[in-house]
Amino acid sequence: MTAGETGKEASGWTVDTLAVFMQRQIDDMWRALDERSSQQGTAVRDALQAAEKAVTKAEVAAERRFEAVNEFRGQLSDQAGTFMPRSEADVRFGALTKDISELKKNSDESHGRGAGIDKVWAFLVAAILAAGGVVSIIVSVTR
């Protein structure tokens, strides 16, 4: 045998041993690739199943939300049916405003009359007291 690159001893490698070695390396790589491919296929299948479950859950949740929204819309529609139309409210508020104005006018007139009567009574009481004072002075002077 001939010496290897070191020149000291023969390496024992031949074209045939190198071919066997390389074929084993290639076979090992193919096995590893097949195994990795199988694992990736399993992972992809599992991921697709999980995604399908997630989509199903999301669809169910969305359906529930839509049902809740539709129920809320129905409640709003029912509630809107009990509201008074704006034109009717305007008519009623106009009538109430007119009634309040008339009551205020009557109250002002009543207060005016009451104030006048109070002044008349005050004047009358003052006149009676003055007349009583004059009479008592006349009586006390004539005695």
The predicted structure's pLDDT at residue 1: 47
Question: Residue 95 is encoded by which pair of tokens?
Answer: 């009538």
Q: How far apart are CA 127 and CA 23, in angstroms?
A: 143
Mean pLDDT, to the nearest integer, of 104-127?
82
Do residues 63 and 55 make contact, with C-beta atoms less than 8 angstroms apart?
no
Whether the model pTM is above 0.75? no
DSSP letter, residue 85: P
pLDDT band at 118 (very low <50, low <70, confident <90, very high): confident
**Residues comprising the chain, all counted:** 143
pLDDT in tens, 31-53: 999 999 999 999 999 999 999 99
Q: How far apart are CA 25 and CA 23, in angstroms?
A: 5
DSSP letter, residue 48: H
The predicted structure's pLDDT at residue 5: 57
The predicted structure's pLDDT at residue 4: 53
What average pLDDT does the structure give for the chain? 87
- Listed residue (24, 27, 8) closest to 16, CA to CA: 24
The predicted structure's pLDDT at residue 7: 60
DSSP letter, residue 7: S
Residue 143 reports pLDDT greater than 80: no
